[in-house]
Amino acid sequence: LPLGRFMVGTGAASLEDAVRLTAEAKSLGFAGALLLPPFYYKGIAAEGLVAYVDAVIAEVGRDGLQLYLYHFPQNSGVPYEIDTVTRLRRAHPDVILGLKDSSGDLEYAAALSRKLEGFAVFPSAEASLGRARELGFAGCISATANVTGPFAQRAWSGGTVAARDGLAQAVEIRAAIARFPLVAAVKATLALLTEDPNWRKVMPPLSPLSDVELATLKRTLRATALMSNERTERREARRSR
């Protein structure tokens, strides 16, 4: 896929690093830079967070910059409060185009969608797709979409039996994977689907699933549409040889 189809994370603890990464994302032609707040210091005042984002934009340059805020307070410890997002959007409507919400708070995401016209809000779990059009979401950015993609796409289409089925299947697969550390479990799922154990590898400080966890994950996924579809496709591929 062309880089213009991707957002890339450029947030960093230091302003200098965030500027460098965001500038590189812009120069390479990514569709957007996903900016975490500066996460080393906690309890940052709204004024400080606004000044930080203002500085990133000023240093990188507005021309051609497409910035998306990344709200993940469980990991960053620094939230993008609704009032702060509103200030930033109104100050930079041509640059700050949306927000990825990994907080799991659907009401937060819906409130931003209602308040800021044309602002693209992406919740982080497939379950949100059931009300995405009603609540004005731009879609969903989910780690598990690496494996739920076809089901999530049907859910996004909305209003049909296939969409409802796709939503239920995507949510079921997500729930099976989310019983384990998410990144390691997504990679383990890819290893199962591709029959390539190299997919289980993760970068430090993360750890791969243990063999026991992998076996449990496999057993759980077999009850979902993900593994049943995969088994059907393999049988059909063998017949066609």
Long-range contacts of 15-21 (CB under 8 A, 24+ apart): 15/52, 15/55, 15/56, 15/59, 18/52, 18/56, 19/55, 19/56, 19/59, 19/60
- Whole-angstrom Cα distance, residue 110 to residue 100? 12
Distance (Å, rounded) from C-alpha 26 to C-alpha 179?
36
Q: Which two tokens stand for residue 190?
A: 């890819």
Residues forming the active site: 70, 100
Q: From CA 97, how far away is CA 113, in angstroms rounded?
A: 12
How many angstroms separate the CA atoms of 16 and 233, rounded?
48
Helix (H) or strand (E) segment spanning residue 68: strand 67-71
